[in-house]
Structure 1
């Protein structure tokens, strides 16, 4: 297990929950509400972490002269994402929108959600957060091919290629599609987010290089990566949120023209890639905080939190509507939603997901980059 990574997953999940609390109190006031309003960056962190952790087996195999069995890779990806997803879909359909099962269009919606194609087919998602899982699945399929462009010393060319593809796609959408109020649904799908995953893969390529070093990177370098990456995230989020405005950003109608929507979002992933390397590569007080048992557990069940938090928020909305939009309200609402979401996520993880993941055991890459020590062939296979 790479130390600090589960904690970063927890941070991403909590950021997204904080952002969606806005469904309970639009136009909230106070510093807490303003901080929560940029919680959408949690999805960008999730994408970067996915690119990082999923590329590592491919990078390590190429370094050591081996290969990743694709059948095992795809089976494991399916076991990781499908059981919890289908459970969430089944419960939401049967408990909240059973009317879908009474019409032909309703069954089309259910089928497209179950097969991760709703966004591409122009059909509504039963759970709005499903859109990012469609991106994840597309990345899973593309990764074995993308990995060929990132292994060994080719990662610079691979990153440039992914950035060119992603930017070209987003520019083409903004330039050619008319009559929409928001480009979100078109832009935030594959290949519109390919470069966000690619920055995570770049972090993975650098990580595998660091594993061969006789000494880990210096603390000053690690902390500079964290500080620089975090500062970049804050700056980019501020530009999108306050200088441009989210609605103007997604409509492409700001003074930046199409360039804001083409260039800014992937830069967040570049900054998060620096944070991942800086946090995970060396012990520090930041990593120690992320390694606290409650934080790690939230990261462990973060997929379930992500799936369940928005239905819970919508369920609570009727109960708390009009009861205040202060910072205190946000904190209470956040605590309630996190508690309920974590409970559902824990049930999903322990009773469903672990059964398909071999008891929940994960591959155990080194906790931090360590010197590469050649091993006898027999020992290496044991």
Structure 2
């Protein structure tokens, strides 16, 4: 796959006409949109830390699960799982250039360059973290060598026993890698299929239909696994593998197609954007609040449904005619700073939390200890993430620019796509 070239031949003149028009008056600048994306990343990364501390402090007894947050409404907020947001955002940013190539003609980077830049983004920090954490937990060789092999090859998501070993949340990186490989195949394929079509509406329909199929497939898989085959939710590879979770990526791809198709004509006025944002946020909250039983409908279909809500929230935030207080909050320096180091925070926060917990540096289990535990883990993890970003992520990103030659990205939001 790494040798696949995604460079397109010259499209007919009717395909290459500019169709998006000039930016709407008062539309946010590209720099501002990038800041909003970083703010989203920071918000999601911080919520991920809170979610995993919540999981760590979830106390069980014979009567069932008792949350460390006694108020059920507050508990729904801290138990909000945001991994689907990262899937949607990643797919959106990385699909934009392919969507423009398929719908309006043009070219994208060769697949080998795309995969190299993704590898530089993901692998150095990930490999270092996995090796460090695995070594500390396996001081005597050979240790659990299969766990190390699974993590270094991004195949832990297929292993029932070791999917959450070493660094538990990194199972999602397995799906990221699979999505990258799928995208360098599907993107050029979409462009080739659309190239002979003279009507832009036809090209948009083909791309939208492809995204819809990629979304519906995992939804059907989950339904069959749960209600026909009656596979329990604890069979992790069944419900965490690409066949079940690619719907999040499909939603992000659909967002990219929609934004390219609509262009500046699709920018939302505040009277439309604000209600859509409220609906998306409320929907995410209610989905978290209602999904309290392991086998109920909201929990079973939580991830494909939340992916659609995150897609709606992104669209109603970054594709608007005028900004408001929501944008001001998203672009706050502390939040965009967290977004800049969000990958490091994602990778390191669980080992840090478990290290603090095992060393007795976190409050004991229970409702009283949870709030203080959240504060301690956030302070330590954010500080470690900042160091990790400047010492590991940033130097690695420079290698990607050297390989690229031009140093920039052709993504619609270049800085946010790092």
TM-score w.r.t. length of structure 1: 0.82
Post-superposition offset of 1:111: 1.5
- What does residue 363 of structure 1 align with? 409
Preserved contact between residue 13 and residue 306 of structure 1 (Cα < 8 Å): yes
Q: Which of the residues 268, 285, 292 maps onto 1:217? A: 268
- What does residue 392 of structure 2 align with? 352
Post-superposition offset of 1:275: 0.4
Give the unaligned 5+ runs of structure 1.
369-382
| Distance across 2 between alignment mates of 1:72 and 1:201 | 20
- Cα offsets for 1:25-57 (capped at 9, x unmatched): 3231344861454232x1111111112111112
Post-superposition offset of 1:121: 4.1
Post-superposition offset of 1:141: 1.2
Choose 171-180 or 1-10, whichever is displaced more.
171-180
| Distance across 2 between alignment mates of 1:6 and 1:266 | 23
Post-superposition offset of 1:118: 2.2
Q: Which of the residues 286, 304, 312 maps onto 1:274? A: 312
- What does residue 222 of structure 2 align with? 170
Post-superposition offset of 1:230: 1.4
- What does residue 324 of structure 2 align with? 284
Q: Which runs of 4+ in 1 moved over 4 A?
A: 148-152, 175-181, 359-362, 364-368
Q: Which of the residues 67, 89, 97 maps onto 1:57? A: 97
| Distance across 2 between alignment mates of 1:179 and 1:8 | 34
| Distance across 2 between alignment mates of 1:366 and 1:134 | 25
| Distance across 2 between alignment mates of 1:201 and 1:82 | 23
Note the 1:164-313 alignment, pairs <5 A.
164-174=216-226, 180=232, 182-213=234-265, 216-241=267-292, 245=293, 248-249=294-295, 254=296, 256=297, 261=300, 263-282=301-320, 283-313=323-353
Choose 174-183 or 198-207, whichever is displaced more.
174-183
Choose 46-55 or 114-123, whichever is displaced more.
114-123
Preserved contact between residue 51 and residue 198 of structure 1 (Cα < 8 Å): yes
User: CA separation of 1:235/1:88 partners in 2, compared to 1, >3 Å: closer, same or farther?
Assistant: same
- What does residue 181 of structure 2 align with? 141
User: CA separation of 1:6/1:223 partners in 2, compared to 1, >3 Å: closer, same or farther?
Assistant: same
| Distance across 1 between alignment mates of 2:315 and 2:159 | 37
Post-superposition offset of 1:335: 2.2
- What does residue 153 of structure 2 align with? 115
Preserved contact between residue 23 and residue 313 of structure 1 (Cα < 8 Å): no
| Distance across 2 between alignment mates of 1:356 and 1:141 | 21
* Count of matched residue pairs: 348
| Distance across 2 between alignment mates of 1:24 and 1:233 | 22
Q: Which of the residues 353, 367, 377 maps onto 1:325? A: 367
- What does residue 8 of structure 2 align with? none
- What does residue 74 of structure 1 align with? 115
Post-superposition offset of 1:236: 2.0
| Distance across 2 between alignment mates of 1:94 and 1:288 | 43
Preserved contact between residue 174 and residue 183 of structure 1 (Cα < 8 Å): no
Preserved contact between residue 54 and residue 79 of structure 2 (Cα < 8 Å): no
| Distance across 1 between alignment mates of 2:177 and 2:186 | 14
Preserved contact between residue 80 and residue 288 of structure 2 (Cα < 8 Å): no
1:12 aligns to 2:64 (yes or no): no
TM-score w.r.t. length of structure 2: 0.75
Give the unaligned 5+ runs of structure 2.
1-30, 59-66, 195-202, 402-406
Preserved contact between residue 305 and residue 342 of structure 1 (Cα < 8 Å): yes
